[in-house]
Amino acid sequence: MTATPPVPGTGPDGLSASAGPPGPPGPRTGHHTRFDAYVDRYATRTRGMTASEIRALFSVASRPEVVSLAGGMPSLSGLPLDAVAATVRDLVATRGATALQYGSGQGEPGLRQQICDVMAIEGVDGHPDDVVVTVGSQQGLDLVTRIFCDPGDVVVCEAPSYVGALGVFRAYECEVVHVEMDGQGLIPEALRQALARLAEIGRRVKFCYTVPTYHNPAGVTLTAARRAEVLAICADYDVLVIEDNPYGLLGFAGEPPRPLRADEGGRVVYLGSFSKTFAPGLRVGWVLAPHAVREKLVLAQESSTLCPPAFSQAVVSAYLADHDWRGQVKQFCELYRERRDAMLEALTEQLPTGARWTRPDGGFYVWLTLPAGLDAKAMLPRAVTARVAYVPGTAFYADGFGSRCLRLSYCHPTPERIREGVRRLAAVVERERELRETFGAGAGPPHLETGYESPTPDLT
């Protein structure tokens, strides 16, 4: 920036920055800046990539004084780090030249076979040739959206839906249509109505994105009966299903629910991940897709990353081969069950009448609906002042709904911290309710806006 003549303003002491010549009469001409030389050049899809108060508040949530019920970081405290270290050391020493080299765009064949073994536990019969390894299942979702969706295409999602998926759909400029859920997951009749309405107005639905098991953020699981119905409805309307299943093995009771993909190979693209069963830092996930789709995914993967990280794949492969990983997952389940119990008990004891919440059978999250008239986003600053954090419900909707809801995660804090967090939250809700009562029904949310309002992934 060029130096501009300073303001010819002087203080009473005559000292000022007024070294410049006196300006012409009337308004002066100043130097104009926007702090961003490229402001008129960005792609349309960056609209909405703005600073957000809500995201800024999450910065406080990372502090130890705050009980964060906002993040989605798995608890890795149980991982046998010494053993993992030995595996990695051995890997580098004996196979370093391969593990540190470029790899195949589709992913390493050995790991793809192991991935099929992992999926078989839940009843999915996949072939290694139909598996594409991705940088977390998040990249799998990105690639699937990239190959299917043009700007303006319709994607059907649950209401609420995974915030990371909504981010991908926004990036590809899709139009998201939400379909209602209840305690048993996606409501088939609501799905049928939505698809019928879209067909009526001539809108082609590119796919239906669903997290049927231990839903993020809703904490509910699609019942077996409904799974069949959802598949039948999607067949009726010829809609592809994207099944995102990162939590399937993290159930608290009995066998894992049978994925949609287990009963329908041709219409379901399945996304899996090692982020919750092993280590999110490795960023290894996968897509299991029908052959033709898989071909395109591999090409898309190559143009995106050349190949998924070979080293991360080798670490996952060695971990699966050398360790009792299923025993480890069982331990994780125990840990998360204890934390879920702590949260549900605390909610029952502390939250006022009028609030309700889901009771997850697995996964990381409880979805809480506040007493009528309350707004979770507007309440967040008060919560941060009280040293507790959550994610406001609007983050999980593409259309501004969800203001009365919020997501609580129990995956990372200890049971003791969870109880303390819920105690603080209950006090915040109580204060907010008093305030709403004081100002009456007219005190609804001041604005509906959607944007980048979820915490960063590294928030605990």
Binding site for other proteins (CB under 8 A): 1, 3-13, 15-17, 22-23, 25-36, 38-39, 50-53, 55-57, 59-60, 63, 65-66, 378-382, 384-385, 387, 432, 434-436, 438-440, 442-446
Give CA–CA dist 342/388, Å, rounded.
Answer: 16
* 26 versus 327: smaller Cβ distance to other proteins: 26
* 110 versus 451: smaller Cβ distance to other proteins: 451
Contacts of 242 (CB under 8 A, 6+ apart): 141, 144, 207, 208, 209, 210, 268, 269, 271
Q: What minimum distance in Å lies between the beta carbon of 281 and other proteins?
A: 23
* 38 versus 102: smaller Cβ distance to other proteins: 38
Under DSSP, the state recorded for 429 is H
Give CA–CA dist 458/103, Å, rounded.
Answer: 27
Cis-peptide, bond into residue 74, ω within 30° of zero:
no
* 29 versus 44: smaller Cβ distance to other proteins: 29
Q: What minimum distance in Å lies between the beta carbon of 405 and other proteins?
A: 17
Q: What minimum distance in Å lies between the beta carbon of 307 and other proteins?
A: 34
Cis-peptide, bond into residue 392, ω within 30° of zero:
no
Which element (helix H / strand E) includes 89?
helix 81-99
* 42 versus 359: smaller Cβ distance to other proteins: 42
* 34 versus 82: smaller Cβ distance to other proteins: 34
Q: What minimum distance in Å lies between the beta carbon of 427 and other proteins?
A: 14
Amino acid at 28: R
Pick the closest to residue 61 from 444, 407, 436 (CA basis).
407
Give CA–CA dist 217/285, Å, rounded.
Answer: 20
Query: Any bridge partners for residue 67, and if so which?
Result: 388
Q: What minimum distance in Å lies between the beta carbon of 440 and other proteins?
A: 6
Strand 268-273 vs strand 405-409: parallel, antiparallel, or unpaired?
unpaired
Instruction: Say if residue 456 is exposed, middle or buried (CB neighbours under 10 Å; 0-12, 13-18, 19+).
Output: exposed
* 59 versus 303: smaller Cβ distance to other proteins: 59
Q: What minimum distance in Å lies between the beta carbon of 35 and other proteins?
A: 4
Give CA–CA dist 328/340, Å, rounded.
Answer: 18
* 25 versus 327: smaller Cβ distance to other proteins: 25
* 11 versus 202: smaller Cβ distance to other proteins: 11
Contacts of 291 (CB under 8 A, 6+ apart): 129, 130
Q: What minimum distance in Å lies between the beta carbon of 257 and other proteins?
A: 39
Angle at 451 between CA 459 and CA 154, to 5 degrees: 115
Q: What minimum distance in Å lies between the beta carbon of 450 and other proteins?
A: 13
Q: Backbone phi, then psi, for 128, in 5-degree steps? A: -55, -30
Q: What minimum distance in Å lies between the beta carbon of 40 and other proteins?
A: 9
